[in-house]
Structure 1
Amino acid sequence: MRTLILAAAIALVGTGLTPAASAAPAEDLRVVTSGNGCLAPLWGSPDPGAYISFELCDKSRPQAWRILRHDGTWFGLQSAASDLCLTVLNSGAGHGEDIVQQPCAGSPNQRWRSVARDPFAKFLEQHAQHSDKCLSAGYIQHTVPTEVVQMDCQNIHWQKFSLEVWSPAG
């Protein structure tokens, strides 16, 4: 019997086929986008502490994020390129605090929830759990490229994002 199984495995390898059970599941990745901009670690950095930037969407791997579900409506965003999470720096609760990537800990400064101000909106505010402030594309400048910060929620377009399915460029 073992010889028969081995022969079947060799035949599959010889044809370039592999058993279906060994196929890797597709990743469920998203881009966090607002208009033509996407969130990504600055210069695609894989390093902890790297600032998050709002840059022109190019569908590169540094712009891809995994959604990490937490209790209820809260979620985390983990970079597909670095495995680090979107984090409000030093758990700061003030207006204008920087957003960086740090090791995922599930802490309140890494938890977000989507808030719709309009029931038909595609783009939603992303509120930080620890501060209830909004993810914002820019502190002063709100066009690509710019920094990403947390700000008081103002129901304005540069504080509204969509979590769209990521499909790689190319």
Structure 2
Amino acid sequence: MRLESTQGWGDDTAANSVVFTCSNQKGTDTNAHSGFWGSWTGWTYCPGNSYICGLQVRIESPGGDDTAFNGLRIACCGFPSDNSTAVISTGSIKTGTTTAQTSCLDITNNLQSVGTFIRQWACNTTAASQLLVITSTVTGAFTINAVPSNLCVTALNAGTSDGTRIVLDTCTGKPNQVWAVLPSGAGTYTLQPTHVNNKCLDVSASSTANGAVIQNFALNLPTRSTSGTIQTSTASNRCMDVVANNQAAGTYINQWECNNTGAQKFTITMAGTNAYQITSFGGFCVSIMNASTSSGARIVLATCVAGAKHQLFRASAGYQGGVALSPLHATGMCIDVNGASSSLGAVMQIYACNGGKAQALKLTLPA
């Protein structure tokens, strides 16, 4: 919703644009504001970790100053702490080894017990062995459960190597039972385990045969990433900067004048459903120091660790069209310029999300 302040002349329209987005991402979508007339002023935001749950507008008939929208109320609600409003889908999961997609994930012999392997088998709409429940989690990723046992589809022993088998196991909520669902084109999707980077649910050797092994294997789709600077919003021409361009674990990241050097070049890579890894020019991961969850914890470079939540970030809409980045390990925290300072060398930290300019970053996320 774009609101203009009173102009005192012309048609004096108060609300000039309305954009609605429908999604199953539970509020984690990022919308870029563009294409509207006028200045970027008069914005109001719901607090961090909340969403717009109600909207009322007063619409006048044409006449006088011809104002269309003359009043506005927005209600903000907090996200649930449980999964009671999760997106749930029940059915089969088809594999892509045949053009017609006639094969499905299948519980071997429908043995609904811990340790049973998942295999590929010809799709059968009446087969209980192919009935799976996919449920969204509060992070935006998904669990996959067998029916009626409710056991979880799991990467065996949290294995990270190619060839790790996929089995049923008691649900624990651990990352090897939580899957990122990412589009791969033409109505198809990949299932990527969240306990390891760059792996994907895979049919061994792309076999079309009944009984083919289902495993984790190296993701061989094009990497979805973007590269460039990450600007802050405390003043014009300010960027996230690796101090002294020291590309080494432990180096702080501060705010500095944008200069397009290696100290300010970052690569943002999609690592799951609304989860992003940020690496420096030297190949180190942007991290929260010591995986701290406290306000004031510094932003540093660190050796990348597969699946480390303090090195993965969720994106949401920020101040005046910017993007707020929240580390997955620290609910309600955002990357922040200490004190909203415009000074060179201002500390980059995490701080309670507040929708302010200190937390609004200008960057390009991979599509």
TM-score range, shorter chain: 0.7 to 0.9
1:57 aligns with 2:258: yes
Give me the whole-angstrom Cα distance separating, in 2, the residues matched to 1:164 and 1:64. 12
1:101 aligns with 2:301: yes
1:127 aligns with 2:326: yes
Partner secondary structure for residue 259 of structure 2 = coil
The CA deviation string for residues 43-73 of structure 1, in whole angstroms up to 9 with x for no partner, is: 1111210011111101112101011221100
Give me the whole-angstrom Cα distance separating, in 1, the residues matched to 2:341 and 2:318. 20
Alignment match, 1:157: 357
The CA deviation string for residues 114-156 of structure 1, in whole angstroms up to 9 with x for no partner, is: 11157xx531111111003100012x36113211000001111
In the superposition, the TM-score normalised over structure 2's length comes to 0.35
Further displaced range: 28-37 or 148-157: 28-37
Give me the whole-angstrom Cα distance separating, in 2, the residues matched to 1:136 and 1:98. 10
Partner secondary structure for residue 267 of structure 2 = strand
1:110 aligns with 2:311: yes
The CA deviation string for residues 58-91 of structure 1, in whole angstroms up to 9 with x for no partner, is: 11121010112211000011001x2101100011
Give the number of the structure whose alpha-carbon radius of gyration is greater. Answer: 2
Give me the whole-angstrom Cα distance separating, in 2, the residues matched to 1:117 and 1:109. 20
Structure 2 alignment gaps of length 5 or more: 1-224
Relative contact order, CA 8 A, sep 6+: which one is greater? 1
Structure with the higher fraction of residues in helix conformation: 1
Alignment match, 2:276: 75
Alignment match, 2:343: 144
In the superposition, the TM-score normalised over structure 1's length comes to 0.73
Pair 1:103–1:141, CA change in 2 (3 A): same
Please say if residues 73 and 113 of structure 1, whose CA atoms lie closer than 8 Å, have aligned partners that are also in contact: yes
Please say if residues 33 and 164 of structure 1, whose CA atoms lie closer than 8 Å, have aligned partners that are also in contact: no
Structure 1 alignment gaps of length 5 or more: 1-26, 166-170
Give me the whole-angstrom Cα distance separating, in 1, the residues matched to 2:322 and 2:259. 19
Please say if residues 41 and 51 of structure 1, whose CA atoms lie closer than 8 Å, have aligned partners that are also in contact: yes
Cα deviation for residue 28 of structure 1 reads: 4.1
Please say if residues 314 and 325 of structure 2, whose CA atoms lie closer than 8 Å, have aligned partners that are also in contact: yes
Please say if residues 226 and 364 of structure 2, whose CA atoms lie closer than 8 Å, have aligned partners that are also in contact: no
Pair 1:75–1:131, CA change in 2 (3 A): same
Partner secondary structure for residue 47 of structure 1 = coil
Matched length:
135
Structure 1 runs of 4+ aligned residues shifted over 4 Å read: none
Partner secondary structure for residue 321 of structure 2 = coil
Alignment match, 2:7: none
